[in-house]
Structure formats: structure tokens, C-alpha cells
Chain A
């Protein structure tokens, strides 16, 4: 925080933000254009804005169903992962158990697994359980991405809570579980919330499992649904841009509200403090 920000800096900043946002800006502008302009003109602004692409995006494919599926699957995944992972992270950081290093190593190794390496047995498992095209059929495989992520980030947050609080709770006669529930959990709430956002985004963005396991249109999630707008012969850019705008809105809102927390969560694992 040493250097003063001059005019040149703000120009750089403006260009930087513009370059990053350009794809969104262009996609948004396209979604408002009438069909013939999309294919034959590179003008930035249309003189004849219309919402036809939005209507078409919502009617040709069940976009709102995809959205609902994504919300339900991601939320349930987040709740389950956080509940299980917060207990594990608490024990790993604050209780006198053995093999902590081994267990954290296992968690870290799990976070590095390529999903493609486990997709076929998971596919067989979900198929045998008769869970294809259902919510549990995605929530179970989503544990593979959410559980290691949640344990890893939560461990960092739990570690930061002062140990003195626990000591005094212990002196007052609280059991370890009571300490966890009454002292640690409320104090760790911001960290837990941050982790939840990151887990939610990870589940929301998952593609490979959703593509192979839920193949019925009514059970698809957003990432897969979006990639289904194209047909063999035509690519309806109007529909695609409109659908992109619609599905990006929830993420933009989430980011705008929780940006500080997200940054804290992302950097917690990589920066020593």
C-alpha cells in the first residue's frame, strides 16, 4: 500500500476491467439484438433492441428447470459437506487425535483427484442404485469435490480461533462436544459461511458428473443445460447469449454480495498469516 495511484494507473485499471468484462458486455449486447443483426453485423449497439432471444431461450429449453435443479443439488451438497467437514476439521485442528498428518494428506490427495479417474465406477454405482436422473444421483458424486475442499478450508479457519476460549470453557465444565457447539461453531461461523459459498460455487459449476449421470432434460443442471442449446446444424447464438445472461445473474449477485468473503476463502489456504 505504498504507492500512490496516479492517472496512468486508473487508465490501466480501466483497460484491465474492460478486457475482463468484455465477453460479458458483448454477450449481453448480443442478447438484445434482433436475430438478423446477430449473424451479419458487428455493430456494438443495436438500433432495434428486442427481448425475443430471452423469450426463445426460456421456451425452447427448460432453462428454469435447469436453474431449479442446480439450486437444489448445490444447496444440498453444501449443507451435507459443511456439516460433515466442519466436525472433521474441528477434530483435526483442536482435538488430541493421532494421524492428523495422514488424514490431512488423504484429504489433500482427494482434492487433487481427476474426476475422470472415478467417473466410470461412480456411474456404475449410481446406475445400480437406480439413482440416475435424480438429485441424490448428483449429490453423492459431488461429495468427491466438496468434501476435501470443505475440510481443507475449514481447517484453516478453525485454526485461527484462539485456544484460550476452549480452555476456559473446559474449566467451566463443558464437554468437548458442547465446546464445539457453543463456543467454536459460532466463532467459526464466518469461516463456515465462506467455505459454504466456495463449496456451493464448486457444485454449481460441476460439469462431468452432471453430463454423464443426469441425461434426462428434466434432471439437467445449468452447465450441462447451457451446452445443449446447440443442435447438430445450427447454433442459435441469440438463445445462447440470452440464456448465458440469465444463468450468470445469480452468480454475479452472489459475488457482489460476498466478494470479501470469497477472497478470504480463496486465499486462506495459500497465504501464511
Chain B
């Protein structure tokens, strides 16, 4: 029901509503939805930050104008010198046709729409030693056929120069070698499309390291979440009563949850260290492990370590959520069941568990997703080692992205993480049903 305001310019409730949601939606679109789309797009390219010829995604052939203009300037001069030297030599004709081909293609390149637009601006910048930071100015897309024939012509000329350099005297040799390397530099400014479709995905589906890291992720998630749920439920059932010192227990439970995972991972690295780690030391004394270095230097030890650290950090949180769920159960139900002759076990399975179902599922959903996305715990505690035994998919994706600077492959891996997460969420949300939204959308 729109309200009639006194002023002529007044928004009604509905409009105000949209206006108030808008900023949040725009932010979510800008920093979450757009980047995931971008990751998917990038994963279709052979895109590597550390290789100038593939340092961006290119659907068609492109020319790096900054590089091209800079190198072409020197090449022109050198090639003129080559022509002079070639005069009267048996290979004069060959040289003329090769070099003529290059200048012909150069002219064609300059007439390409995007090149013609930007050439002079970039040339001016290059001449005044400015860095061309604007990517739209620096790269111009060109016709793929032209790029291919130009590159062919350049390679021909380069071959000729290399051939001549073999028999030439010292002075000519250095001229030919210069020409050859300058041709190479111009050639590297011509970039062919690095679109490779789904090749990254097909490669990773045959990559044992990918399967290993995916398996590690599932093992870590499955075992740690199961342990957390079991221990959390037990603890919640025990402390669900009146006692003195609730505040102390609550604080003790919250602190591990609240400290940064990286800090707790660092603490566990110390506690489990083969030489100075007190927990590793006690485990050895109790004969639970053969040697105190087992925890961080063997495959099983490493996986146990990360699971132990995760269980320590999040079981209390799980217990807290379940405890809150327990507190909402009407005590009358238990009394009624007792009157009807239900024993303790029956009361647990037929009252407690069904009443806790939605609490447990929601807690499980968020814990499973958190465990599946795990990065900092493993990156800091074991670094994925020993020998990749604890490398989860997020760590593998991170290494590919930022250590190898392979943004195409790394994006493909991160999209795989995303798809797994989406699948897990859908399964859980199907199980939970509409409860997740209950009490949020108002009267609707």
C-alpha cells in the first residue's frame, strides 16, 4: 500500500525496500558473482602471468603495441644495414624479398582498425619512455591470418639471417645476429590467441596430483566433520544441565573458535614438532606413535595432525550449536515419554535426535563447507606435505595460481573446488528443505 506523502518527492515502502537492498546486492555481484564468472572464463585459456606472450586472455590474435613499436624501430634500421651488406652478394634477391615481405606486413598491420587507432599514441609514449599501463591501449586485436603470415615471414627472415651468420666475417656476423634477435623480439610482440577451451579440465582429469588432492580434501572433510559432530553431540549432552561455572566453560569453548586458524595452525606445528613438540613427545611416550617425528613427517601422521588441529578448533563450536538446539526442546516431551514407559535410549532416539535434526543439518552444512574449503590450516601446518600427502584441492589451486603463476590452470582447479562446493550445498539444502529460510523472509 503506497503511502501518500506530503512532499511530492517521496518513495513508497516498496521502492525504499529495493533501494535498501540494492547496495548489498551490487557489492555481492561485484566481489563474488563477477569474479567466479571471471575464474570460469580464465580457465578456458592458457593464461600465465610469467609469460609475456600469454599474460592475458586473448580470444583472437593480438599485438602488444608497446613491445612491437619499441622493437620494430630498431629492426627497421638493422634490416636496412642488412640490405646494404647484401648488395652484390648471391643472396641479395632472397634478402630483398624477405625484408620486403616484413615491411609489407608491417604496413598491413598498421592499417588494422584497432592498431591504426592506437599506434601513434603508443608510439609517442614509447618515444618518451613512458610505460603503457593502460591494457586497452597496449593490446590491439588483429586479424589472425595476418598475424600468422606475418610471423611466418619473420621466421623466414630470421632463418636467412642465421644461415648468413655462419659464414660471415666477424662484423657481418654480429649484424646478422642482431637482426635475428630483433626479428625474434618483434615476433614475440605478435600474440596468438591462447584460448584452449576445456583442455585444462581434460588435463586435470588425468592428473594424479589433482585426484590425490581431491581425495585428501574428501578424507579431511569426512573424518574431521564426523569426529566433530560425534564429539560435539556428546559434549553438548553432558553439559546440558545446570552447573556452576558455565561462563568459564563458554569462554574456554569460544577461544579456540575465535583465534585465527593460521595462529592455531602455528601452535599445532609447535606442539606436534618432531623435536620440540610436547604432544608428539607424549604420544611417543604412550607408544601411540613409533617416533615423535611421525606426526609431521609421514603421510598418515600429517593427515592425522591436520584433522586433530581442526577437531580441536571446531568441536567446541559444534557443541555450542547443538547445545543451543537442545535448549529449545520442550522438557514436557521427555516427561510424557517417561510416563509412557520409554527408556533413556528410546527418549534419545525418538525425541532428542528428531528434534535436533534441523540444527544438526545446518551445523553440518556449514562445517562441511568450511572443511572442504580449508586452506590456511593446511598451508601453515604442513604446507601440503609431507610429499603432498595433505595437499587439499585449495592448496593445489593456490600453488598453481601464485607459485607457478599459471592463472589458466589454477582457475580451472578453483572452478573444480567451486563445483564440488555447489554440489555439496545442493545435497544439504535438499535435506534441510525450507527450514533454512524459516524466520527470515517475514510473512511470506
Contact = CB atoms under 8 A, between A and B. Distances in A.
Given A23-B312, A95-B17, A271 B325 contact: yes
Given A38-B276, A117-B36, A121-B42, A97 B250 contact: no
B320 A266 contact: yes
A170 B16 CA distance: 15
A23 B267 contact: yes
B398 A116 contact: yes
Which secondary structure dominates where chain B touches chain A? helix
Nearest to A5: B243
Given A20-B312, A88-B20, A91-B17, A271 B321 contact: yes
A120 interface: yes
A248 B259 contact: yes
Interface stretch (A48-56, A57-65, A103-111, A187-195): A103-111
Contacts of B270: 27, 30, 235, 237, 240-241
A91 B34 contact: no
A110 B440 contact: no
A25 to B, nearest CB: 10
B363 interface: yes
Contact of A147 (B27, B316, B325): B27
Interface string A1-45: 111110001101100110011011011001000000011001000
B119 to A, nearest CB: 23
A20 B256 contact: yes
B138 interface: no
A168 interface: no
Given A97-B21, A177-B16, A207 B376 contact: yes
Which secondary structure dominates where chain A touches chain B? helix
A93 B437 CA distance: 11
A256 B23 contact: no
Interface in B209-244: 235, 238-244
Interface stretch (B74-82, B105-113, B367-375): B367-375
A72 interface: no
Interface in B26-40: 27-28, 31-36, 38-39
B35 A122 contact: yes
Interface in B408-422: 410-411, 414-415, 417-418, 421-422
A101 B24 contact: no
Nearest to A148: B28
B24 A114 contact: no
Nearest to A241: B270
Contacts of A148: 28, 32
Interface of A: 1-5, 9-10, 12-13, 16-17, 20-21, 23-24, 26-27, 30, 38-39, 42, 84-85, 87-88, 90-97, 100-101, 103-104, 106-110, 112-122, 124-125, 128, 140-141, 143-144, 147-148, 151, 155-156, 159, 170, 175-177, 180, 201, 204-205, 207-208, 212, 222-224, 226-227, 229, 235, 237, 240-241, 244, 247-248, 251-252, 254-256, 259-260, 262-263, 266-267, 269-273
18 contacts: A3-B241, A5-B244, A13-B245, A23-B264, A23-B267, A91-B16, A93-B440, A93-B441, A103-B25, A107-B24, A107-B28, A115-B373, A125-B35, A147-B27, A151-B24, A156-B440, A175-B10, A226-B260
Of all A-B residue pairs in the complex, the 7 with the closest CB atoms, nearest first, are A95-B17, A88-B24, A267-B324, A223-B262, A121-B38, A118-B35, A207-B376
